[in-house]
Protein backbone atom coordinates (compact mmCIF):
# COMPACT_ATOMS: atom_id res chain seq x y z
CA UNK A 1 0.00 0.00 0.00
CA UNK A 2 1.31 3.46 -0.94
CA UNK A 3 0.36 6.73 0.70
CA UNK A 4 -0.36 9.53 -1.78
CA UNK A 5 -1.19 13.21 -1.29
CA UNK A 6 -4.28 14.19 0.69
CA UNK A 7 -4.32 10.97 2.71
CA UNK A 8 -5.22 8.87 -0.34
CA UNK A 9 -3.92 5.30 -0.23
CA UNK A 10 -3.14 3.19 -3.29
CA UNK A 11 -3.47 -0.59 -3.28
CA UNK A 12 -1.83 -2.46 -6.17
CA UNK A 13 -3.30 -5.84 -7.06
CA UNK A 14 -1.79 -8.42 -9.41
CA UNK A 15 -3.32 -9.36 -12.78
CA UNK A 16 -2.51 -12.55 -14.69
CA UNK A 17 -2.42 -10.68 -18.04
CA UNK A 18 -0.97 -7.39 -19.21
CA UNK A 19 -0.45 -4.81 -17.76
CA UNK A 20 0.13 -7.17 -14.82
CA UNK A 21 -1.40 -5.01 -12.10
CA UNK A 22 -4.38 -2.77 -11.33
CA UNK A 23 -4.64 0.00 -8.76
CA UNK A 24 -7.47 0.54 -6.31
CA UNK A 25 -7.63 3.76 -4.30
CA UNK A 26 -8.81 4.46 -0.77
CA UNK A 27 -10.14 8.01 -0.55
CA UNK A 28 -10.49 9.40 2.98
CA UNK A 29 -13.89 10.75 4.06
CA UNK A 30 -15.87 11.66 7.16
CA UNK A 31 -17.64 8.30 7.35
CA UNK A 32 -14.70 6.12 6.33
CA UNK A 33 -12.91 5.17 3.16
CA UNK A 34 -14.34 5.41 -0.31
CA UNK A 35 -12.73 2.45 -2.03
CA UNK A 36 -12.43 2.91 -5.80
CA UNK A 37 -12.24 -0.35 -7.81
CA UNK A 38 -11.64 -3.86 -6.60
CA UNK A 39 -9.28 -6.01 -8.69
CA UNK A 40 -10.42 -9.39 -10.01
CA UNK A 41 -12.45 -11.77 -7.90
CA UNK A 42 -9.87 -14.53 -7.45
CA UNK A 43 -10.49 -17.10 -4.67
CA UNK A 44 -8.06 -15.24 -2.39
CA UNK A 45 -9.45 -11.75 -3.09
CA UNK A 46 -11.21 -11.46 0.27
CA UNK A 47 -8.10 -12.51 2.15
CA UNK A 48 -5.93 -10.06 0.23
CA UNK A 49 -8.36 -7.23 0.87
CA UNK A 50 -8.74 -8.07 4.54
CA UNK A 51 -4.98 -7.65 4.96
CA UNK A 52 -4.89 -4.38 2.98
CA UNK A 53 -7.84 -2.87 4.87
CA UNK A 54 -6.35 -3.93 8.16
CA UNK A 55 -3.24 -2.00 7.27
CA UNK A 56 -5.27 1.06 6.24
CA UNK A 57 -7.38 1.00 9.43
CA UNK A 58 -10.89 2.42 9.78
CA UNK A 59 -14.07 1.36 8.03
CA UNK A 60 -15.00 1.34 4.35
CA UNK A 61 -18.07 3.54 3.75
CA UNK A 62 -18.44 2.95 0.01
CA UNK A 63 -17.11 0.64 -2.67
CA UNK A 64 -17.19 2.57 -5.95
CA UNK A 65 -16.84 0.73 -9.27
CA UNK A 66 -15.59 2.93 -12.13
CA UNK A 67 -16.42 0.45 -14.91
CA UNK A 68 -17.35 -3.17 -15.45
CA UNK A 69 -14.06 -4.55 -16.81
CA UNK A 70 -12.82 -7.59 -14.86
CA UNK A 71 -9.90 -5.92 -13.13
CA UNK A 72 -12.11 -3.12 -11.78
CA UNK A 73 -15.41 -4.82 -10.91
CA UNK A 74 -14.29 -8.41 -10.28
CA UNK A 75 -14.08 -8.45 -6.48
CA UNK A 76 -16.96 -6.03 -5.75
CA UNK A 77 -19.13 -8.75 -4.16
CA UNK A 78 -16.19 -9.96 -2.08
CA UNK A 79 -15.61 -6.46 -0.78
CA UNK A 80 -19.28 -6.03 0.01
CA UNK A 81 -19.27 -9.29 1.97
CA UNK A 82 -16.05 -8.35 3.72
CA UNK A 83 -16.93 -4.78 4.72
CA UNK A 84 -20.72 -4.50 4.53
CA UNK A 85 -20.18 -1.25 2.62
CA UNK A 86 -22.62 -0.10 -0.03
CA UNK A 87 -21.49 -0.68 -3.62
CA UNK A 88 -22.00 2.24 -6.01
CA UNK A 89 -21.77 1.95 -9.80
CA UNK A 90 -22.88 4.04 -12.79
CA UNK A 91 -26.33 3.11 -14.11
CA UNK A 92 -25.27 2.59 -17.75
CA UNK A 93 -22.16 0.74 -16.64
CA UNK A 94 -24.13 -1.61 -14.43
CA UNK A 95 -26.54 -2.37 -17.28
CA UNK A 96 -23.56 -3.36 -19.47
CA UNK A 97 -22.03 -5.31 -16.58
CA UNK A 98 -25.15 -7.45 -16.33
CA UNK A 99 -25.40 -7.81 -20.08
CA UNK A 100 -21.85 -9.14 -20.37
CA UNK A 101 -21.18 -10.98 -17.08
CA UNK A 102 -24.70 -11.90 -16.00
CA UNK A 103 -25.75 -13.34 -19.32
CA UNK A 104 -24.92 -16.90 -20.43
CA UNK A 105 -25.84 -15.99 -24.04
CA UNK A 106 -23.16 -13.31 -24.27
CA UNK A 107 -20.63 -15.63 -25.93
CA UNK A 108 -23.06 -16.39 -28.77
CA UNK A 109 -23.63 -12.70 -29.21
CA UNK A 110 -19.86 -12.20 -29.54
CA UNK A 111 -19.64 -15.02 -32.09
CA UNK A 112 -22.31 -13.34 -34.25
CA UNK A 113 -20.60 -10.03 -33.89
CA UNK A 114 -17.11 -11.24 -34.93
CA UNK A 115 -18.68 -13.01 -37.91
CA UNK A 116 -20.56 -9.86 -38.88
CA UNK A 117 -17.17 -8.12 -38.99
CA UNK A 118 -15.50 -10.77 -41.13
CA UNK A 119 -13.64 -13.07 -38.75
CA UNK A 120 -13.31 -16.58 -40.30
CA UNK A 121 -15.09 -19.38 -38.40
CA UNK A 122 -11.98 -21.01 -36.91
CA UNK A 123 -10.65 -17.67 -35.75
CA UNK A 124 -13.98 -16.63 -34.21
CA UNK A 125 -14.01 -19.55 -31.78
CA UNK A 126 -10.54 -18.61 -30.58
CA UNK A 127 -11.44 -14.92 -30.24
CA UNK A 128 -14.55 -15.68 -28.19
CA UNK A 129 -12.74 -18.27 -26.06
CA UNK A 130 -10.35 -15.52 -25.01
CA UNK A 131 -13.24 -13.55 -23.55
CA UNK A 132 -14.08 -16.38 -21.13
CA UNK A 133 -10.69 -16.33 -19.42
CA UNK A 134 -11.81 -13.87 -16.74
CA UNK A 135 -15.42 -15.00 -16.46
CA UNK A 136 -14.94 -17.20 -13.34
CA UNK A 137 -13.28 -14.26 -11.56
CA UNK A 138 -16.07 -11.73 -12.07
CA UNK A 139 -17.89 -11.36 -8.77
CA UNK A 140 -19.77 -8.14 -9.40
CA UNK A 141 -22.28 -6.92 -6.84
CA UNK A 142 -25.93 -7.39 -7.84
CA UNK A 143 -28.25 -4.41 -7.41
CA UNK A 144 -25.68 -1.77 -6.45
CA UNK A 145 -26.67 1.85 -5.81
CA UNK A 146 -26.88 3.36 -9.29
CA UNK A 147 -25.48 6.82 -9.96
CA UNK A 148 -25.04 9.22 -12.89
CA UNK A 149 -22.32 11.67 -13.92
CA UNK A 150 -22.76 15.02 -12.16
CA UNK A 151 -23.83 13.42 -8.88
CA UNK A 152 -21.53 13.38 -5.86
CA UNK A 153 -20.33 10.36 -3.90
CA UNK A 154 -18.73 11.05 -0.49
CA UNK A 155 -17.86 14.58 -1.63
CA UNK A 156 -16.37 13.56 -4.97
CA UNK A 157 -17.98 14.70 -8.23
CA UNK A 158 -18.65 11.95 -10.76
CA UNK A 159 -17.30 12.74 -14.22
CA UNK A 160 -18.51 10.88 -17.32
CA UNK A 161 -15.53 9.31 -19.10
CA UNK A 162 -16.92 7.21 -21.97
CA UNK A 163 -14.64 5.63 -24.58
CA UNK A 164 -12.74 2.82 -22.83
CA UNK A 165 -16.12 1.78 -21.43
CA UNK A 166 -19.35 3.58 -22.33
CA UNK A 167 -20.45 4.17 -18.76
CA UNK A 168 -17.06 4.71 -17.10
CA UNK A 169 -17.11 7.30 -14.30
CA UNK A 170 -14.13 9.16 -12.84
CA UNK A 171 -14.11 11.02 -9.50
CA UNK A 172 -12.92 14.63 -9.10
CA UNK A 173 -12.22 16.67 -5.99
CA UNK A 174 -9.81 19.54 -5.30
CA UNK A 175 -8.01 19.00 -8.62
CA UNK A 176 -7.46 15.26 -8.05
CA UNK A 177 -8.98 13.09 -10.78
CA UNK A 178 -9.33 9.41 -9.93
CA UNK A 179 -9.17 8.49 -13.59
CA UNK A 180 -9.70 4.71 -13.81
CA UNK A 181 -8.75 3.77 -17.41
CA UNK A 182 -9.74 7.12 -18.94
CA UNK A 183 -6.18 8.44 -18.75
CA UNK A 184 -3.18 6.14 -18.49
CA UNK A 185 0.37 7.40 -18.39
CA UNK A 186 2.40 5.12 -20.61
CA UNK A 187 -0.16 2.92 -22.32
CA UNK A 188 -3.03 4.05 -24.49
CA UNK A 189 -6.42 3.04 -23.08
CA UNK A 190 -8.19 0.68 -25.46
CA UNK A 191 -11.22 2.23 -27.15
CA UNK A 192 -13.15 -0.47 -28.97
CA UNK A 193 -16.52 -1.03 -30.58
CA UNK A 194 -18.24 -4.06 -29.00
CA UNK A 195 -21.70 -5.57 -29.40
CA UNK A 196 -24.24 -3.40 -27.55
CA UNK A 197 -21.71 -0.61 -27.08
CA UNK A 198 -22.56 2.94 -28.08
CA UNK A 199 -22.29 3.71 -31.79
CA UNK A 200 -19.16 5.87 -31.80
CA UNK A 201 -16.92 5.09 -28.81
CA UNK A 202 -13.90 6.90 -30.25
CA UNK A 203 -15.99 10.04 -30.80
CA UNK A 204 -17.18 9.70 -27.20
CA UNK A 205 -13.58 9.33 -26.04
CA UNK A 206 -12.22 12.34 -27.94
CA UNK A 207 -15.08 14.39 -26.47
CA UNK A 208 -14.37 13.09 -22.97
CA UNK A 209 -10.70 14.07 -23.39
CA UNK A 210 -11.86 17.58 -24.39
CA UNK A 211 -13.84 17.77 -21.17
CA UNK A 212 -10.82 16.56 -19.18
CA UNK A 213 -8.75 19.33 -20.72
CA UNK A 214 -11.48 21.82 -19.72
CA UNK A 215 -11.60 20.52 -16.14
CA UNK A 216 -7.79 20.81 -15.96
CA UNK A 217 -7.19 18.49 -13.01
CA UNK A 218 -3.87 18.97 -11.22
CA UNK A 219 -3.11 15.27 -11.01
CA UNK A 220 -4.73 12.07 -12.26
CA UNK A 221 -4.62 8.72 -10.46
CA UNK A 222 -4.98 5.99 -13.10
CA UNK A 223 -6.11 2.38 -12.87
CA UNK A 224 -2.72 1.24 -14.14
CA UNK A 225 0.70 2.90 -13.89
CA UNK A 226 2.00 5.88 -11.96
CA UNK A 227 0.10 9.11 -11.17
CA UNK A 228 -0.14 11.47 -14.13
CA UNK A 229 1.44 14.78 -13.17
CA UNK A 230 0.12 16.71 -16.19
CA UNK A 231 -3.31 15.28 -17.06
CA UNK A 232 -4.08 18.02 -19.60
CA UNK A 233 -0.92 17.27 -21.57
CA UNK A 234 -1.64 13.53 -21.41
CA UNK A 235 -5.20 14.09 -22.68
CA UNK A 236 -3.80 16.13 -25.59
CA UNK A 237 -1.26 13.39 -26.38
CA UNK A 238 -4.01 10.78 -26.45
CA UNK A 239 -6.10 12.93 -28.80
CA UNK A 240 -3.09 13.36 -31.08
CA UNK A 241 -2.42 9.59 -30.99
CA UNK A 242 -5.95 8.87 -32.22
CA UNK A 243 -5.78 11.60 -34.90
CA UNK A 244 -2.68 9.88 -36.30
CA UNK A 245 -4.38 6.47 -36.09
CA UNK A 246 -7.42 7.88 -37.89
CA UNK A 247 -5.17 9.10 -40.71
CA UNK A 248 -3.63 5.62 -40.95
CA UNK A 249 -7.11 4.17 -41.03
CA UNK A 250 -8.18 6.42 -43.92
CA UNK A 251 -5.04 5.40 -45.80
CA UNK A 252 -6.00 1.71 -45.46
CA UNK A 253 -9.34 2.22 -47.24
CA UNK A 254 -9.86 1.51 -50.93
CA UNK A 255 -12.83 1.27 -53.30
CA UNK A 256 -12.85 -2.47 -52.52
CA UNK A 257 -15.01 -3.36 -49.47
CA UNK A 258 -12.97 -4.60 -46.48
CA UNK A 259 -14.21 -6.01 -43.20
CA UNK A 260 -13.10 -4.87 -39.75
CA UNK A 261 -11.23 -8.14 -39.43
CA UNK A 262 -9.28 -7.49 -42.65
CA UNK A 263 -8.63 -3.87 -41.78
CA UNK A 264 -7.30 -4.85 -38.34
CA UNK A 265 -4.29 -6.33 -40.17
CA UNK A 266 -3.59 -3.00 -41.84
CA UNK A 267 -3.77 -1.12 -38.53
CA UNK A 268 -2.27 -3.64 -36.10
CA UNK A 269 -0.19 -5.99 -38.26
CA UNK A 270 -0.49 -9.75 -38.78
CA UNK A 271 1.50 -10.89 -35.79
CA UNK A 272 -1.01 -10.98 -32.90
CA UNK A 273 -2.25 -13.74 -30.58
CA UNK A 274 -6.02 -14.24 -30.33
CA UNK A 275 -6.26 -11.99 -27.28
CA UNK A 276 -4.53 -9.18 -29.17
CA UNK A 277 -6.62 -9.72 -32.30
CA UNK A 278 -9.84 -9.35 -30.29
CA UNK A 279 -8.86 -5.87 -29.16
CA UNK A 280 -7.37 -5.04 -32.57
CA UNK A 281 -10.70 -5.73 -34.27
CA UNK A 282 -12.67 -3.74 -31.70
CA UNK A 283 -10.21 -0.82 -31.95
CA UNK A 284 -10.20 -0.96 -35.73
CA UNK A 285 -13.99 -0.74 -35.77
CA UNK A 286 -14.08 2.21 -33.36
CA UNK A 287 -11.74 4.09 -35.71
CA UNK A 288 -13.73 3.32 -38.86
CA UNK A 289 -17.02 4.19 -37.15
CA UNK A 290 -15.51 7.56 -36.22
CA UNK A 291 -14.45 8.01 -39.85
CA UNK A 292 -17.99 7.20 -41.00
CA UNK A 293 -19.24 9.96 -38.68
CA UNK A 294 -16.66 12.33 -40.18
CA UNK A 295 -17.72 11.38 -43.75
CA UNK A 296 -14.21 10.05 -44.34
CA UNK A 297 -15.33 6.40 -44.78
CA UNK A 298 -18.44 4.52 -45.88
CA UNK A 299 -19.98 1.51 -44.20
CA UNK A 300 -22.02 -1.14 -46.05
CA UNK A 301 -23.87 -4.11 -44.61
CA UNK A 302 -24.56 -6.74 -47.25
CA UNK A 303 -25.54 -10.40 -46.64
CA UNK A 304 -24.60 -10.36 -42.98
CA UNK A 305 -21.21 -8.73 -43.47
CA UNK A 306 -20.19 -5.19 -42.56
CA UNK A 307 -17.52 -3.63 -44.77
CA UNK A 308 -15.89 -0.24 -45.16
CA UNK A 309 -14.79 1.63 -48.29
CA UNK A 310 -13.16 4.97 -49.03
CA UNK A 311 -15.56 7.93 -49.01
The minimum distance between CB 106 and Zn ion, in angstroms, equals 19
CB of 19 or CB of 175, closer to Zn ion: 19
In the complex with Zn ion, which residue's Cβ is closer, 2 or 294? Answer: 2
Q: Please identify, using beta-carbon distances, which residue of 78 and 181 lies nearer to Zn ion.
A: 181
Nearer to Zn ion, 217 or 223 (CB): 223
Range 14-73, binding Zn ion (CB under 5 A): 71
Span of 73-81, 110-118, 221-229, 258-266 interacting with Zn ion by CB under 5 A: 221-229
Least Å distance, CB 107 to Zn ion, is 22
Distance of CA 133 to CAs 114, 130, 138, 195, Å?
18, 6, 10, 18
Residues 6+ apart with CB under 8 A from 300: 257, 306, 307, 308, 309
Report d(CA 165, CA 158) in Å as an integer. 15
Q: In what order do the strands lie in the sheet with 219-222?
A: 152-153, 156-160, 169-173, 176-180, 219-222
Closest CA to 282 of 130, 149, 170: 130
Secondary structure (DSSP) of 19-83 = T-EEEEEEE--TTSEEEE------TTHHHHHHHHHHHH-S-EEEEEES--SHHHHTTHHHHHHHH
Q: Give the shortest CB-60-to-Zn ion separation in angstroms.
A: 21
Residues 250-269 that bind Zn ion (CB under 5 A): none
78 with 46: CB under 8 angstroms? yes
CB 85 within 8 A of CB 62: yes
Q: Of 195-203, 219-227, 278-286, 296-304, which part binds Zn ion (CB under 5 A)?
A: 219-227
Q: Smallest distance, Å, CB 169 to Zn ion?
A: 14
Q: Which is nearer to Zn ion, 189 or 217 (CB)?
A: 189
Kindly state the smallest distance separating residue 186's Cβ from Zn ion, in Å.
Answer: 14
- What count of other Cβ atoms lies within 10 Å of the Cβ of residue 119? 24
DSSP class of 144: -
Task: Compare residues 166 and 262 and give the one whose CB is closer to Zn ion.
Answer: 166
| Interface with Zn ion in residues 149-188 (CB under 5 A) | 181
Q: Identify whether the C-beta of residue 65 lies closer than 8 Å to the C-beta of residue 38.
A: yes
Nearer to Zn ion, 71 or 93 (CB): 71
- What pairs with residue 177 in β-bridges? 172, 220
User: Shortest approach of Zn ion to residue 223 CB, angstroms?
Assistant: 4
Does residue 93 bind Zn ion (CB under 5 A)? no
> Does 231 engage in binding with Zn ion (CB under 5 A)?
no
Would you count residue 223 as binding Zn ion (CB under 5 A)? yes
Instruction: Kindly list the residues in this chain that would bind Zn ion in the complex (CB under 5 A).
Output: 71, 181, 223
Amino acid sequence: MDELEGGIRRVTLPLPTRPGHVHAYLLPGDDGWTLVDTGIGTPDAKETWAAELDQAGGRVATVFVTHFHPDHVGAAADLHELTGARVVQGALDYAQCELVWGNPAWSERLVDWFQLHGAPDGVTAELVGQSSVYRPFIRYQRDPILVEAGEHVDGWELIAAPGHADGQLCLLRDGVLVAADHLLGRITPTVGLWPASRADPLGDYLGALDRTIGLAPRIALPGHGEPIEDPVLRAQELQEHHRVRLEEAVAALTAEPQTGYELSFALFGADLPASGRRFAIAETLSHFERLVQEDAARRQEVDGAVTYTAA
